[in-house]
Structure 1
Amino acid sequence: MSEKPARHLSQAAEGVRAFNHTSLSVGDDWVYPGHAYDAVGNLSHMVGMLEQAVQQSTRPVMHTYEHGRVRIDGNGDADAKVAELVAAQRDAEAAAAALTAAVQRMHNAVSPMGLDTTGIPEFEDDEDDA
């Protein structure tokens, strides 16, 4: 039995929802710049794949349209609706590319960041060793 491609996008959305929930407040695993570096790196990887996902998400429509089998509710114009879809897809691809570039810049910006441990008791032993 093959998997339904749309299910993967549902799982990705669930993962983003879980991240949004667990990252609302600072905690032991979500407090230092390195934690943000990891998160932004994963986010960069994910959004880097959005443009292709946008392109491929319309394949079933385009396949059906190319075979003259798209029907629009209320006897609507299939050519007009497919043209609308293609235009919106192009806009989404451009937005995905822009988002990818912005998140990659975020990752580059957070990359050199670390924690200044000066005066933090838990790290004093480490400073004495240096």
Structure 2
Amino acid sequence: MTRTDPAQYPAKAADALRLFNHTTLPKRDGAGIAYPGTAYRAIGNLATLSHRLPQALDHIAVGLTSLHKAGHLTADHGAPATHTAAAVKALRRAEELAIELTEALERAHAATGPLGYGGQSDDTDDDL
């Protein structure tokens, strides 16, 4: 039985995000995103992705902690316990930031929901 490397999935997600960035790169003749519905769906999908990050980060932290407690870790320099503790602390902070990111994306998603594509707007806000 071949074991699947779980690290391949975040790598695929990173590649997909790189493709999104290339596809939506602003062009000379306008934005890379031509319709508000595209922005709405993209923001929603990014919110879904960020919503799943805390669990993934937790799994990594728990996995490293388990490997350390079982005595399976070594370090090129310093103590494995020091490196493990630093990694887990950083992962816990990343979980908090992912939650904040999700909340911000959900607000952006809600704000783009009413937008449509059409004629001239009567909006006089020049701050955009």
Find the aligned partners of 1:2 and 1:68 in 2 and give their Cα distance. Answer: 22
Deviations for 1:13-37, whole angstroms, at most 9, x for unmatched residues?
Answer: 000000000000368x831111111
**Of the candidates 111, 114, 121, which is equivalent to residue 113 of structure 2?**
111
Segments of 5+ residues of structure 1 without an aligned counterpart are: 119-130
Find the aligned partners of 1:30 and 1:92 in 2 and give their Cα distance. Answer: 29
Find the aligned partners of 1:7 and 1:116 in 2 and give their Cα distance. Answer: 42
Find the aligned partners of 1:56 and 1:107 in 2 and give their Cα distance. Answer: 27
Find the aligned partners of 2:3 and 2:83 in 1 and give their Cα distance. Answer: 29
**Of the candidates 71, 75, 81, which is equivalent to residue 83 of structure 2?**
81
How do 1:17-32 residues align onto structure 2 when only pairs under 5 Å count?
17-25=18-26, 30-32=33-35
1:96 and 2:98 aligned: yes
Superposed displacement of residue 116, structure 1:
2.8
Segments of 5+ residues of structure 2 without an aligned counterpart are: 121-128
**Of the candidates 48, 51, 60, which is equivalent to residue 54 of structure 2?**
51
Q: Which amino acid aligns with 2:54?
A: E
How do 1:118-129 residues align onto structure 2 when only pairs under 5 Å count?
none
Between Structure 1 and Structure 2, whose CA radius of gyration is higher? Answer: 1
Q: CA RMSD in A?
A: 1.8
Deviations for 1:67-102, whole angstroms, at most 9, x for unmatched residues?
Answer: 12211113x112222211121111111111100111
Structure having the larger proportion of residues in helix: 1
TM-score (norm 2): 0.81
How many percent of aligned residue pairs carry the same amino acid? 35
